[in-house]
Copies of this chain bind each other. A is one copy, B any other.
Amino acid sequence: MSLTVVGSIALDSVRTPFGERERMLGGSAVHFALAASFFADVHVVGPVGDDFPEEHVELLRSRGVNVDDLERVSGGETFHWRGHYEIDMNLAHTDATELGVFADFEPKLSAASSQADVLFLGNIQPDLQRRVRQQCTPRLAALDSMNLWIETARESLLAAIGEVDCVLLNDSEVRMLTEEPSLARAARKLMDLGPRIVIAKRGEYGAVMFTPERFFALPAYLLEEVRDPTGAGDSFAGGFLGYLDMQGTKPSDAALQRAIAYGTVLASFNVEEFGIERVASLSEGEIGERYNALRAMTHFELPR
């Protein structure tokens, strides 16, 4: 089993009410890959510049992530995001986005990356997502996106959605894209485009998954302190798709539900510290413990 992810590989400068970091390791592909690395063989596809510290590449390798398709662009600069969060950390405020080597990125997947069983198209321009999709024939293809692409590349995004099995978006983006206030109906409109799984992410409130016959919802794991929510959605996707890749076959409803729980668990670790700090030092035992704690936090008995 293996899993390929394309997305940003970034240096993030982030300020939250709990502190700040300059040019730490980040990006959708990185957060995803680290979370998924607990379950699957992950291949990362994306460009970095000369300024990208070798220790970051080493960190990915140390988690077993394959970096053969991490393209180092000579003379280029790594994608850089600068943002901050106020007290309501559900909302990210972008202060600057420097595309750097991403401006001219043209994905070329190696044979190993293109033969992955599961493909995750992280949040990048939807035409780029489609060009990656065309190079793969995975058992399960998924994409994430954002309001920027809904506003500036709507038709491309709708086409990209038509070419995947699973869509992950924030709940407000699901409603914005479909112009449908009922989340359940909005999810069905997205399914009409092709995907059989639609996941609406709700920040601190968790996530809902829609499949043709059912829906499933979990609250986020409740934390004393959220220090930096950057990458939570990608960590969620990493736990979700990593677990599904490990399952091998076409996932059952029960497997999809466990996958949502693993996504919830990985996202909860991600937001406990800045950037990748917490997930990079995580153990499988800690993941198992929190999975059980999430069950205890959400399960109730039959009536009596």
Tell me how far the C-beta of A254 lies from the nearest C-beta in chain B, rounded to whole angstroms: 5
Tell me how far the C-beta of A61 lies from the nearest C-beta in chain B, rounded to whole angstroms: 27
A208 touches B181 (CB 8 A): no
Closest to A210 in B: B222
A225 CB–B CB distance under 8 Å: yes
A218-231 near B? 1/0 per residue, CB < 8 Å: 11001111100000
A297 touches B216 (CB 8 A): yes
Per a CB cutoff under 8 Å, which of B202, B260, B298 touches A216? Answer: B298
B297 touches A299 (CB 8 A): no
Query: Which residues of the partner chain B approach A297 to less than 8 Å between Cβ atoms?
Result: 214-217
Query: Which residues of the partner chain B approach A304 to less than 8 Å between Cβ atoms?
Result: 258
A182 CB–B CB distance under 8 Å: yes
How many positions in chain A have a CB within 8 Å of any CB in the partner chain?
40
A257 CB–B CB distance under 8 Å: yes
A183 CB–B CB distance under 8 Å: yes
A202 to B219 CA separation, bound complex (whole angstroms): 11
A215 touches B222 (CB 8 A): yes
Tell me how far the C-beta of A282 lies from the nearest C-beta in chain B, rounded to whole angstroms: 16
Query: Which residues of the partner chain B approach A182 to less than 8 Å between Cβ atoms?
Result: 224-226
Q: Mark out the residues of chain A between 276 and 292 whose CB falls within 8 Å of any chain B CB in the assembled complex.
A: 288, 291-292
Query: Which residues of the partner chain B approach A299 to less than 8 Å between Cβ atoms?
Result: 257, 298-299
Query: Which residues of the partner chain B approach A183 to less than 8 Å between Cβ atoms?
Result: 222
B303 touches A288 (CB 8 A): yes
A198 CB–B CB distance under 8 Å: no
Closest to A88 in B: B181
A215 to B260 CA separation, bound complex (whole angstroms): 20
A271 to B142 CA separation, bound complex (whole angstroms): 34
A105 CB–B CB distance under 8 Å: no
Query: Which residues of the partner chain B approach A254 to less than 8 Å between Cβ atoms?
Result: 300-301
A178 to B181 CA separation, bound complex (whole angstroms): 32
Query: Which residues of the partner chain B approach A139 to less than 8 Å between Cβ atoms?
Result: none
A56 CB–B CB distance under 8 Å: no
A185 to B225 CA separation, bound complex (whole angstroms): 9
Closest to A303 in B: B291
A260 touches B300 (CB 8 A): yes
Per a CB cutoff under 8 Å, which of B87, B218, B296 touches A298? Answer: B218
A20 to B225 CA separation, bound complex (whole angstroms): 42
A275 to B279 CA separation, bound complex (whole angstroms): 47
A132 CB–B CB distance under 8 Å: no
Sample (11) of A-B pairs whose CB atoms are under 8 Å apart: A182-B224, A182-B225, A182-B226, A216-B297, A216-B300, A217-B298, A254-B300, A257-B300, A257-B301, A258-B301, A295-B302
